[in-house]
Chain A
Amino acid sequence: MKKTGWNLESIVEKLPEYIEKLKTVNEVLLSNLVMVGEIPAPTFKEAKRVQFMLDRFTEAELQNSSTDEAGNAVAILPGKEGKENILIVAHTDTLYSEKIDHTLTIQPNSVIGPGVGDNSLGVAVILTLPFILEQLNITLDSNLILLGASRSLGRGDLEGLRFFLSNTDIPIIAGVSVEGVQLGRLSYSSIGMIRGEIVCTVPEEYDWSRFGSVGSIVTINEVINQILEIPIPKRPKTTIVFNSIEGGTGKFSKIPKLSFLRFEIRSESDDMVHEIYQRIEDITTDVSYRYGDDISLTIYSKRRPGGIEFSHPLTKNVRSIMKYLNIKPRISPSTSELSAFIDQKIPAITLGITKGDRVDDEKEIIEIEPIYTGLAQLVALLLAIDRGQCVDDK
C-alpha cells in the first residue's frame, strides 16, 4: 500500500547525499568483497562461503540468521513496523573450481580476481547492506530478508532460491536480485529456457565396419548439423546456443569414445522451447540409430517465461531512479534468479552494481567508483518498495 507523504521525488532528491556518504563505507564493502571473494564457492560447494555470511549476519546482530537444507544463508533485518517483507538475494556460487587461486587484488580504482563481479560483489553488497542503511540513517518499515542463495548456477538450477521461496511462510512483497555487474542491468522478465547435455558414447561392442565408424566426435558433429537445420522463428524470439563441446582423449592414436555437447534453448515462448527440445530429442534418437552410438539427452535446468510488465511500478521506479542517477538502463530478459520469483508470482527485478570486464575469466575486473552509484540505486529502490511506491494497483 502506498504510504502518504512519500513519492519517488522525495527519495531521489536524497541520492546525491547518499552517494557522498556511501563513499565512506567503501572499505567495509571492499573488505567484505575480498573476504567473501577469496573463499572458493563452486556450485554445490558453497558451504564455507555461506558460513562466512552467517558469521557476518550474527556479528551484525541480525535476526533469524540461519542456513537451510539447500545450503542458503539467510537473516532478517527487522523493519520498524515489520508488517511486510522485502527479499534481497545474491547467488553465492561462482563458476570457478576451488583449485584455482582465488586471491583478489585491490587497486585504487578496481578489484581483480575470479568471480569478483559474478557474484562476490553481489554477496558483499548483501553483507554490507545493514551497515550501509545504518550509515545512511535509514530504517525501513518492512523487514528486509537477506539471502545468500546457493546452488544457483548451471546444474544447481536455482535450487537455493527455489527451496527458500517454496518453504518459507513469510509473505514477500517484492524481490531484488543483486548481481555485481553490469551497472544499468534491469531484468524484470525471464525468458523460457531449457539447458541440456547430449552425451555420445561409443559402445564397447561397436561394429567398426558400419557407416561413419570414426568415433563419438563425428557422431556429435552430426547431431550439431541436424540441430542447425531446425527452423528458428523470428517471432517469438528464439535461439539455440551451443555452450560447450568436449570429446576424445587428446591423443592421436585413440578413437574418441565419449563426447559431450551442452546447449541452451531460449525463447519468449514456453511452447517454442518445448517444441525445439522435442526436435532435438528426435535428432538424438535418429543419429543414435544410424551411427550405432549410445546418445543420451539430459535436461539440467528449465525456466518458464514470465515476469512483470515493463509498465509495472517496480520497473517504472527503477527506470526513474536510473535516469536520475544517469545510469543507462540495459534492459534484458534474464535466465537467473528472476524465474524462481516468477514461479512464485512475486514481483522481482535483477540489478547490477558496477561496471566490469572479463566476466567469466580468472582476471575478471570491476570498477570501484561506479559502486557508489550502484548502491545508491539499490537503496533508493528498497526505499521505493518500502514506501509502497512499487505496488501494482491493477
Chain B
Amino acid sequence: MLTINKWLKENTFHHSRFQNINDLVKEKEKQGLNLSLCIPTLNEEKTIGKEIVIFKSELMTKYPLLDEIAVIDSGSTDNTRDVAEAFGADVYLAKEILPEMGEKKGKGENLWKAIYQLKGDIIVYIDADIKNIHPRFVYGLLGPLLYNQKIQYVKAFYERPLTTSHGVRPSGGGRVTEILVRPLFSLFFPELSALIQPLSGEYAVRRTLLEKIPFPIGYGVETSHLIDVYKMLGMEAIAQTDLDQRVHRNQQTRDLGKMAFGILQTVLSRMNSLGIISELPILNHTLRQFQTDDNVFETVEYNILEEERPPMIEIPAYRKKMGYK
C-alpha cells in the first residue's frame, strides 16, 4: 500500500511535463495506441466551438496525437451539435448509441456510451463548459498514461503545486469536494483523499479498465469510478495532473446540493456492496429544498435517482463489436 505522501510525489504531475507533444506522438506510435477525445454535451453552444477548434488544430492537424474527437450529446436544444459538426467533430446523440439499451438522462450515460462508440485504446473525457480551453487539458492527462504502463486512470486538478515560494498553502477542490467527498473518503477510503479534485470532469482512462467499471449516469460517476478503480487496482493505477487554472460557470449552492445528494447515494451504495456498511435501508430519492414567496416557505422537490449502467464488457453488442468471446 502506498502512503499518501509517496503517491502524491510519484503519481501527481504538472501538465508542463508533457508539453512536448511530438514526444507524446512518438510514444503513442511506438505503443500502437489509438487515442480518442470524448466531450459530453448538453446545451454548450457557447464553448463547444472553441474546444473543438483548439483540440483539432493542436492535437490532430499539427500533431497527430488524437485519432478522433467525438461529441456525445444528451439532446441539446440549442445549436451545440451544429456548431460541433461545423468545426469537424464527430457528433453523436447519446440515445442513438446502443438504442436497445434505452435512454437515460445524465452525463454518465454519455461517458458510458462513448466506450461503445469510440475506437480509442485510451479515452480522454473533457467537459464542454471550459472557458479557458487549452491543449494541455488533453495532453496533460494523456502524458502519464503514455509514459507509465501501470497508470490506468488520470484525473485532472486545477491548482498550482502544493508548495510555493511563499511556503505551504492549503490546496483543494470545490465546495462539494471539501464538504462532502473528502470527508467521506477520509472516513472510508483514506488513500483516495489524496486526490485533490476527485470530482473534476476531466480524466483519461485506458479502455481495458473503462469497460470493466460500472457507470452511475448522474452526479456520482466520478466518485464511483475512483472507488471502483481503487478497489480493483489500488492507488498505483491512479494518477492526477495539475492543469493550472480552469475557468467555468460557477454553480449555485442549490445545484451543489443536488450534486451532493446524488454523490451520497452512490457512495452509500458502493459502501454497501463492498460490505463496509451493512443493512442499508431503502434510500429515499427525493431531495427537498426550500424557497420563500412573500414570507411563505415553499418546498421544492427534486427526484434524483442515481441509476447505474453495468460495465460495458457485459453488454453483448459491445462484446460482439470488440470480438470478445
Contacts and interface: CB of A to CB of B under 8 A. Distances in A.
27 contacts: A27-B53, A27-B56, A27-B57, A27-B61, A27-B87, A28-B57, A28-B61, A28-B62, A30-B53, A30-B57, A31-B53, A31-B56, A31-B57, A31-B58, A34-B133, A35-B54, A35-B134, A103-B131, A103-B132, A103-B247, A104-B50, A106-B83, A108-B49, A108-B82, A108-B83, A108-B86, A108-B87
A204 B225 CA distance: 70
B254 to A, nearest CB: 24
B83 A107 contact: yes
B47 interface: yes
A38 interface: yes
Given A34-B53, A107-B83, 14 more contacts: A27-B53, A27-B61, A27-B87, A28-B61, A30-B57, A31-B56, A31-B58, A35-B134, A103-B247, A105-B50, A106-B50, A106-B83, A108-B83, A131-B62
A188 to B, nearest CB: 34
Nearest to A55: B19
Nearest to B59: A31
Nearest to A27: B57
B173 to A, nearest CB: 23
Interface string B66-97: 00000000000001001100111000000000
B83 A34 contact: no
Nearest to B88: A27
Nearest to A109: B86
Interface residues of B, number: 23
Contacts of B54: 31, 34-35
Contacts, number: 47
A131 B57 CA distance: 12
Contacts of A28: 57, 61-62
A106 B87 contact: yes
B57 A106 contact: no
A330 B83 CA distance: 32
Interface of A: 27-28, 30-32, 34-35, 38, 103-108, 131
B231 interface: no
Interface in B181-235: none
Q: Is the interface of B mostly helix, strand, loop or mixed?
A: helix
B130 to A, nearest CB: 10
B168 to A, nearest CB: 27
B46 interface: yes
B46 A38 contact: no
A108 B46 CA distance: 11
A107 B85 CA distance: 11
Interface string B33-64: 00000000000011101100110111001100
Nearest to A33: B53
A31 B62 CA distance: 11
B237 to A, nearest CB: 33
A30 B133 CA distance: 13
A105 B57 contact: no
Contacts of B83: 106-108
B47 A105 contact: yes
Contacts of A108: 49, 79, 82-83, 86-87
A223 to B, nearest CB: 45
Q: Which 3 A-B pairs have the closest CB atoms?
A: A31-B57, A106-B49, A108-B86
Contacts of A104: 50
Residue of A31, A38, A107, A131 most packed against chain B (CB within 10 A): A31
A31 B53 CA distance: 6
A105 B130 CA distance: 11
Contacts of B46: 105
A27 B135 CA distance: 13
Nearest to B57: A31
Contacts of A30: 53, 57
Contacts of A35: 54, 134
A131 B83 CA distance: 25
A337 to B, nearest CB: 28
B278 to A, nearest CB: 50
A360 to B, nearest CB: 23
Contacts of A103: 131-132, 247
Nearest to A31: B57
Nearest to A105: B46
A107 B132 CA distance: 16
B44 to A, nearest CB: 11
A27 B55 CA distance: 9
Contacts of B134: 35
B48 to A, nearest CB: 9
Contacts of B62: 28, 131
Nearest to B84: A108
Nearest to B132: A38
A104 B83 CA distance: 15
A32 B54 CA distance: 8
A35 B53 CA distance: 11
Give the one of A32, A103, A105, A106 with max B CB within 10 A. Answer: A106
A27 B69 CA distance: 14
Contacts of A107: 45, 49, 83
A107 B46 CA distance: 7
B63 to A, nearest CB: 10
Nearest to A103: B131
A104 B131 CA distance: 8
A103 B50 CA distance: 10
Nearest to A135: B61
A261 to B, nearest CB: 38
Contacts of A38: 132
B87 to A, nearest CB: 7
A205 B314 CA distance: 88
A32 B49 CA distance: 14
Nearest to B46: A105
B255 to A, nearest CB: 22
Nearest to B54: A31
B250 to A, nearest CB: 13
A87 B80 CA distance: 41
Interface in B5-45: 45
Contacts of B133: 34
A108 B85 CA distance: 9
A27 B49 CA distance: 10
